[in-house]
Chains A and B, each alone.
Chain A
Amino acid sequence: MKRREFLKSLPFAAAALAALETGSLAGLVSSPVHTNLLRPPGAVPEGMFASRCIRCGRCVEVCPYRSIVPGDVLSAGFNAGTPLIKVTDVPCYLCMKCVEVCPTGTLRHIAQADTRMGLAVIDRYACMTWKENSMMLCRTCYNVCPFKEKAIKLDQLRPVIVNEYCTGCGICVHGCPVTLANGKKAVNVEPVYAFRVKPVESER
């Protein structure tokens, strides 16, 4: 092995080691989807995703906002090459182009309003309008929501998520002015639907 190759392989080895350390090989095969790191619209449940997706990259290519990025080996392991949306970087603007190009049906045809990438959850201890005795008037999440007044409503100028309508697009997360030490925002999208056996939204 050449010196250069050896050095190149180091990160992989480190990743494998890290995975072993945290939970044997599970780290490499388990889903990378977690808070604010989501699948594109219409994705099949996470249990099937990695085996259905052929990593063709068409959804990545077609995304006009560069929201969809392919998972890399280091963080996604076995899921490397599968599409992910990190909403804190670029959220999904729900143009629904990716579902049209997916050749395998891993991203199913779905209407914009039926998208359920996750569910936005407001951290009432971090949100500056919800905090006790707060005198700050922030409505950023409400203002930027594509389903304003449906998915986010205001209760006396404080935002409230309506679970029924939230698509989990993450635009509110991206806009939220509060960033916590762990990188989370005062509103975060939790991929609650990804790990259910049967998704809640109506299948078409």
Chain B
Amino acid sequence: MGLSRREFIKRTAALTAASYVGMNLPLKEENRAQASDVDGWHRGVCRLCGTGCRVELGVKGGKAVALRGVTGSRTNMGYLCMKGMLFYRLMGHPERLTKPLYRASKKDSFKEISWDEALDIASREFARAVRKYGNDSVAYYGSGQALTEETYLFQKVMRAGLQTNNVEGNPRLCMASAVGGYITSFGADEPIGSYANIEKAKCFFIIGSNTAEAHPVLFRRIMRRKLDHKDEVKVINADPRVSPTSRIADMHLQFMPGTDLALLHSMAWVIIDEGLTDREFTEKYAVFRVGKDKKQVDFDTYKKFLDDYTPEKASRICGGNITPDKIRTVARWFAKSGGTVSLWTMGINQRKRGVWANNLIHNLHIITGQLCKPGADSLSLTGQPNACGGVREGGGLCHILPAHRLVKKDKLRHQVEDLWGVPRGRIPPKPGYHTMAMFTAVNQGKIKAMWVNCTSPAQSLPNCDLYNKGLAREDFFLVVTDIFPTRTTEYANLILPTAFHFEKTGVYGCTERRSQLTRKAVNAPGDAKPEVWIVREWAKRLSRDLNDPVIATTVKPFDGLEEDYELPEAIWNEYTQKLTRGRDNDLSGATYRVLSRMDDGVQWPAPTEEFALQGGTVIKFVKGYDPLATKHSKDENPYQFYGPAHPDRKLWVWLRPHKGPEEMPDSEYPFYLSTGRVIDHWHTSSMTGRIIELMRSNPYAYVEINPADAQRLGIKPGDMVEVESRRGSNLLPAKVYEGPVKGMVFVYWYDQAESRMINKVTKDAYDPGSKEPEFKICACRIRRVSGPRPLKPFLVQMKG
């Protein structure tokens, strides 16, 4: 069989294209053909972490066949990680949910029903709960992965329609402390700068973040910066565990878990002691505050307060490898670099004192003036693609309304009611249940019907066994919208199949205030529908069942619109043009028209289309760069801190005393337990677990143990080890290596297997300010159970 010249050239081109795309090269003949001559590339944003990488989906014959990065994008410059490159496999995956499923009792098996029946049931059950037990007996629990349009519409129907503020989302479990930190320190939520600072930074302070695994593409930028300027750029990594991120660090500070507040204070002490503060900046822009009543104090009080945290004292508190010299060196690098970027994620946020830890990082930036300048920023990384955009800005938490408005403030609440065209008083003035309170209320039988969208609390809540008891109650009606079966669908009464990313249209907002549009490129499998359509149809039925015309008015502007583009666009327009206009996250310039034209997206504030087309605001609060800073300028200073939470227009330096974790190791439970992510999996692995390449490299979770501890306990690599706390236990294979500090064990939390779900073990104590649980630290004990055993990867499957 000969190959014609034309055929040969075609195949060569195919191979080149395939290798560029990064497909599993030859795979099978038919796949190769697919990757080569795709019908078209469709722009969107990555479905996974919060970096916000711009991707293009290759579609052939109506099927997704490849993904590649967009080189012109300011977030990833074309780079993608493995997860980002492979998630197209989930479109058209055979295990996708394709039909609405219902069961009256949680003991029954699911039956396929039509959308009409499904929406009728959902509406009937919510209406019944509202009539019988009041408006606060229903709740919505959303996700930082839902599109902004979805979160916005859900909360609108819940608040103005069902008159309850029981609107929460999983960002409470990951971002709430960062929100609290930004608001209390800077007066406005979300980072001041952008990723662009990475290329200008002289010093990176990475604390409580394994950027290399959780945000690989961003880590590449940091690494590039470091390797290109080896002597000029310093990288400090502070983490009780040596992670792949530590590899590029000039200094790794390995402190005992929960002692970072002392470490941060001690760095501030050194900075002040050695006169490394930026006096002018501090005098002009900062005030010092203490306590619940935000009492203002002077600089000397702050200085005196820090005397408890001299490097000598702090190194004793911190333990690990911390010495006074190390603290001094790090503090000098931080202050003298001429541009320091701090990066952190869950190690700081998921803590009993998460807000305080956030404040203390901001303190360092304020006293050294490392803000609003090129290469200097205090940048909290997000874990989810739309935690910032959808939930923090879109009003997806119990205490906030869209565009950073507080529920408690009458004026702001009435503003929203007026903009929505519903009678005043429709939105209750009291914030609803925050996440942990919400699931406690489920346990107590106070919440009778709940809608869980695009997340799996049955696996992701701390101490999940306790809360799963509530989810299993027969008098509790649970609707779950998702694309795959999860641990949570096992407790559902009604499962509604939804369209996946690129199967619907909508906006994601990433870490750096950047909103990016993803347009529908392929059809959803079976009867799966976009959430916006589901909510609209559900709201109409609720209005009928509760005989309340106001519920129908919440979705009235969107009636009859086609759900793949027109409907999300109308919702986006209402949200941006009406709700965000004039607020600090002004997105009114970022229309779908503008967003479709951008290589990357738009960073708010972007009050006009013209400004949005330039990319929006790269750096907040700086006159000339931020249109709102120019507009709200009150004096001659170049920086205008107009954030709504600080009427004095100042940055606040907080005097927060050191506090340890809620649960400390003792003789009975002598180890610290911490959890985290591995590069190849994402969250509960319901998506990444179904991509065979990713599952193969990390088929199951394991427990990382320090060799010194392992030797003492007779644990060899691969041995089965029981990790037990006061709440539950896991049985995991051991990985013995110099990762976690002596006295600490570390477990990945993606595994869905009953015996390897580490959140059965973690603690559900939470930050009194942000209400974010302390996932990262609890006490546990470990015990060798047996030698190595062959283990199988596990994913929840649909039964029946």
Contacts and interface: CB of A to CB of B under 8 A. Distances in A.
A97 B679 CA distance: 30
B85 A136 contact: yes
Contact of A65 (B68, B82, B694, B790): B790
B718 interface: yes
Contacts of A66: 790
A91 B297 CA distance: 63
Interface in B50-92: 68-69, 71, 78-82, 85-86
A15 to B, nearest CB: 28
B247 A95 contact: no
B426 interface: no
Interface residues on A, range: 35 or more
Contact of B81 (A112, A134, A137, A144): A137
A135 B25 contact: no
B555 to A, nearest CB: 42
A144 B679 CA distance: 11
Interface in B722-745: 737
Contacts of B183: none
Contacts of B24: 177-179
Interface in B24-49: 24-27
- B25, B86, B698, B737, most chain A CB atoms within 10 A: B25
B59 to A, nearest CB: 20
A25 interface: no
Contacts of A156: 223, 227
A101 interface: no
Interface in A148-167: 148-149, 154, 156-157
B717 A137 contact: no
Contact of B26 (A94, A95, A181): A181
B698 A180 contact: no
- A93, A126, A140, most chain B CB atoms within 10 A: A140
B696 interface: yes
Contacts of B79: 135-137
B216 interface: yes
B788 interface: yes
- A65, A137, A140, A157, most chain B CB atoms within 10 A: A137
B716 interface: yes
Contacts of B795: none
B22 interface: yes
Contacts of A148: 737
Interface residues of B, number: 41
Given A95-B716, A137-B81, A137-B82, A178 B25 contact: yes
A64 B791 CA distance: 10
A7 to B, nearest CB: 32
B680 A140 contact: yes
A64 B20 contact: no
Nearest to A62: B787
B718 A138 contact: no
Contacts of B227: 156
Given A128-B22, A136-B22, A140-B680, A64 B789 contact: yes
Nearest to A66: B790
A174 interface: yes
A135 B81 contact: no
A140 B26 CA distance: 20
Contact of A93 (B78, B220, B679, B718): B718
B56 to A, nearest CB: 12
A139 B696 contact: no
A149 B212 CA distance: 14
A126 to B, nearest CB: 6
Contact of A157 (B85, B223, B737): B223
- B693, B697, B698, most chain A CB atoms within 10 A: B697
A34 interface: no
A131 interface: yes
B19 A131 contact: yes
A35 interface: no
Contacts of A176: 697
A146 interface: yes
A141 to B, nearest CB: 8
B678 interface: yes
A175 B696 contact: yes
Interface in A67-110: 93-95, 97
B217 interface: yes
B787 A143 contact: no
B81 A138 contact: yes
Given A136-B22, A139-B679, A146 B717 contact: yes
A133 interface: yes
Contacts of A154: 247
Nearest to B248: A154
B679 A64 contact: no
A97 B787 contact: yes
Contacts of A95: 716-718, 787-788
- A64, A65, A93, A131, most chain B CB atoms within 10 A: A64
Interface string B202-218: 00000000000100110
A137 to B, nearest CB: 5
Given A136-B85, A143-B679, A148-B737, A180 B788 contact: no
Contacts of A175: 696-698
A137 B789 contact: no
Contacts of B71: 135
Nearest to B69: A135
B220 A143 contact: no
Contacts of B69: 135
Nearest to A172: B697
A157 B220 contact: yes
Contacts of B20: 133
A98 to B, nearest CB: 12
Nearest to B738: A149
B53 to A, nearest CB: 10
A137 B273 CA distance: 43
Contacts of B223: 156-157
A23 B179 CA distance: 72
B90 to A, nearest CB: 16
B788 A135 contact: no
Nearest to A129: B22
6 contacts: A64-B790, A137-B80, A140-B693, A143-B698, A156-B227, A180-B25
Report the 10 A-B pairs with minimum CB-CB distance, sorted nearest first: A175-B697, A177-B693, A181-B26, A64-B788, A140-B697, A136-B22, A135-B78, A137-B81, A135-B79, A128-B22
Given A144-B697, A179-B27, 11 more contacts: A64-B718, A66-B790, A97-B787, A137-B216, A138-B81, A139-B244, A142-B244, A174-B697, A175-B696, A177-B693, A180-B25
